[in-house]
Amino acid sequence: MSNSAQEGGLSLSLQGKVVLVTGGSRGIGAATVRLFRQAGARVVFSYRQAREQAEALAQASGGESVCRALRRELNSVEDGSALVAAATGVFGRLDCLVINHGIWPAHDQPVARMPAQQWRTTLGVNLDSVFGLVQAGVRQMLDQPMPPGRVRGHLVLIASTAAQRGEAFHADYAASKGAMVSLTKSLSSELAPEGILCNCVAPGWVRTEMSEATLGDPQAAEKALRLIPLGRAAEPEEIAGPVVFLCTPWAGFVSGEIFNVNGGAVLAG
């Protein structure tokens, strides 16, 4: 790899690879879809409600021959499995699975008064469906021949700084994302010998529709941003870059890592 890099320049090409990105119509997911397409991969991404945005993104990313949007609910194990089956049916294989979808109830909810339904809903979307995606995605990758370089596939889970230091009044969200960190480490130990690398990207505050209610409120934004040494929230592309990098040959010896992309906030809060 080093000789070709010297002769032809640095390449992050993913030509020939097929990627599934969950929650890909907006925010971090949409930025990730665009960047994978720029790297030459064919991409399938899921969306739940934003049909017009999803269809526009797929068209702008090259159209149905290289980028396909699938409308899917992701609330359960079965939903996750069904999405992998549908996505694999589009381009016939799966090389990279990026689990990006999730919900964050924006209202503060003291744990003593948190409705059981809120807990179940958050864990259903943020964790149960993840198990279905991972299980079906791994099965698909194991069915594919081991290529030269001994990397069959990549799993990238999107967690959060809340996974590592908790988040008061958002115990459901923090617990679900903390589980993603543990899952990443468990999957790495189990799957790396099979040629499947699993890593986790942990963003902090990012300017997306999900965070708009907080970052659009001057007082709430000031409280959130003062804990970030860089003094600002990230742009979605700044999260997408590390996600795509972890699926390139340059990250071929990286497994089980929690890639913090939060402006230093996880060390300061």
Helix (H) or strand (E) holding 256: none
173 catalytic per annotation: yes
47 is catalytic: no
Nearest residue to 94 (alpha-carbon basis) of 16, 19, 196: 19
Our CA dihedral for 180, 185, 188, 190, rounded to 10 degrees, sits at -100
Structure-token match 């499947």, residue found: 196
Query: Which listed residue (17, 176, 177, 188) is catalytic?
Result: 177
CB 198 within 8 A of CB 157: yes
Among the listed residues 25, 81, 160, 188, the single catalytic one is: 160
Q: Looking at 173, 176, 188, 255, which residue is catalytic?
A: 173
Q: What is the DSSP code (8-state) at residue 192?
A: G
Query: Is 182 labeled as catalytic in the residue annotation?
Result: no
Active site residues: 160, 173, 177
